[in-house]
Amino acid sequence: MSQIITASENEARLRKPRVGFKIIIAACVVLMIASAVLLVAGLHGFAGTTEYAPAPALSAPFNASEPDQFEGDTTAPKLPAMTLAIPAVGLEIPLVLAGTNVQGGLDIPESTHAAIYDKAAALKATQGSTLIAGHVNFANAAPAPMADIAKITKGTPIFVSDEKGTVQRFKAIAATEYTKKKLPDAFFSAKGARQLVLLTCGGPIGELEGKLSYLNNTAITALPWP
């Protein structure tokens, strides 16, 4: 069971959204498993306007072959149970377990939380991918906490606590922007090499499955860091 977070606790832990753009892309993540769309969110708009809320671009895409760029504290912080934290970019967000809804979409909660996909590897697993996905923005176009993963640099420590509050540390080894239909199958697998994958929306706006959506996903891949 995931930890219950009260409204007052969330207010203290998460930044307040800013009011912005005239046309607003609803917070969204689109995940593909075997060509099946897990979630598509639409566009909130106002007649006669052409502006929209762009997703933040990756600060600098990187891969496993490049040297680490992070220089800073790698000590694991004390975290509430079921929390993702990346102190280097100011991110801390509560987590919930999520399956798929009746439409086949990943049942991601509101933008103040992120979801652990329950068909991929569990946090305590020794193999496979633990997939954490969250919305890139709030409904008023202000950036949501998961937008901060675009700021991660190579070697950044990532911390995740489980239901008992045990904190695991990972190191970011890759930052990539994928089109939504090109996400690697390994991201969703409970088998294979152990890794953590963070996902949110990215890229330009376009039509996907008959709706306006961000066309890409920003993905951070991280390996266990004892």
Q: What is the CATH number of the domain that holds 74?
A: 2.40.260.10
2 found inside a domain: no
How many structural domains are present in the chain? 1
pLDDT of residue 208: 79
73 found inside a domain: yes
| 125 vs 17, residue with greater confidence | 125
102 found inside a domain: yes
pLDDT of residue 102: 66
pLDDT of residue 7: 31
106 found inside a domain: yes
1 found inside a domain: no
In this structure, the number of other CB atoms found within 10 A of the CB of residue 204 comes to 10
117 vs 70, 161, 194, 200, CA distance in Å? 28, 15, 15, 13
- Domain extent for 28: 7-224
163 found inside a domain: yes
Q: What is the spatial distance between Cα 28 and Cα 130, in angstroms, rounded to a whole number?
A: 19
pLDDT of residue 3: 33
Task: Supply the mean pLDDT for the chain.
Answer: 78
Which segment of 14-18, 88-92, 193-197 scores lowest on mean pLDDT?
14-18
pLDDT band at residue 42, thresholds of 50, 70 and 90?
very low
Mean pLDDT (whole number) for 200-211: 85
Buried/exposed 126-150: b ≥16 CB within 10 Å, e otherwise: eebbbbbbbbbbbbebbbbbbbbbb
| 205 vs 46, residue with greater confidence | 205
37 found inside a domain: yes
- 188 φ/ψ angles, rounded to the nearest 5 degrees: -110, 10
Residue 12 pLDDT more than 80? Answer: no
State pLDDT tens for residues 56-86: 888 889 999 999 999 999 999 999 999 999 9
3-class DSSP string for the chain: CCCCCCHHHHHHHCCCCCCCCCCEECCCCCCEECCEECCCCCEECCCCCCCCCCCCCCCCCECCCCCCCCCCCCCCCCCCCCEEEEHHHCEEEEEEEECECCCCCECCCCCCCEEEECCCCCCCCCCCEEEEECCCECCCCCECHHHHHHHCCCCCEEEEECCCCCEEEEEEEEEEEEECCCCCHHHHCCCCCCEEEEEEEEEEEEEECCEEEEEEEEEEEEEECC
pTM of structure: 0.80
pLDDT band at residue 104, thresholds of 50, 70 and 90?
low
| 39 vs 117, residue with greater confidence | 117
